[in-house]
Amino acid sequence: MPTYILLFGAPGAGKGTQSAILKAEYGIPHVASGDLFRKHLSENTPLGQVARGYIDNGELVPDDVTVEMIRNRLHEPDAAQGAVLDGFPRTIPQARELEKLLTEFGGKVDVVLSLKVREATLLERVASRSLTSGRADDHPDVLAKRIRVFLSQTLQLEDYYRERGLLAEIEGERSVVDVTEQIHAAIRACTSK
């Protein structure tokens, strides 16, 4: 049965670092919704064209378009054993759609890892990252908005997954090794149920 791990965390929480570790240890890809959007838009795929129509009009891309991007990505051979999903779902309706989608692949959400980091630490981390990343969304003003949006969106999702016994809160301000150890313990606890 494939393993599906959801990774929650504000920008700068360490999702990229921990996803790389999980990818190496479990042999499953890191599937970030933001990366999928950028790929589809830059390659001007049919899904990218649909998404661009909404984005250009200042509208949110409908869930069915995002779900289809995720579905296409999970059909790729490297995702046969599962994936670390990052940036999706962001709402409870998206979480329900994800559950339906994963049944198509004979799987389910195994664990939801929520990396907890104080806002001041997030801002400090991304300020450092912005010096080398070149990412427009690492600008302090943009980042502060992204953090607020993330926090407002994920609180309900955390409750949703907590009620299902799948949420593990990870102290993300510790060392990379300590965070990784917490993650492994949480995965073991959720997958042994």
Chain CA centroid to CA 175, Å: 21
Q: Does residue 165 register a pLDDT over 90?
A: yes
Q: Mind telling me the catalytic residues?
A: 15, 90, 129, 135, 146
**CA nearest neighbour of 6 among 159, 154, 110, 100:** 110
Q: Does residue 176 register a pLDDT over 90?
A: yes
Residues 116-164 pLDDT 10s = 998 888 878 777 766 666 665 556 677 777 777 777 777 789 999 999 9
Domain range annotation of the chain: 3-28+85-191
| Domain topology for 3-28+85-191 | Rossmann fold (3.40.50)
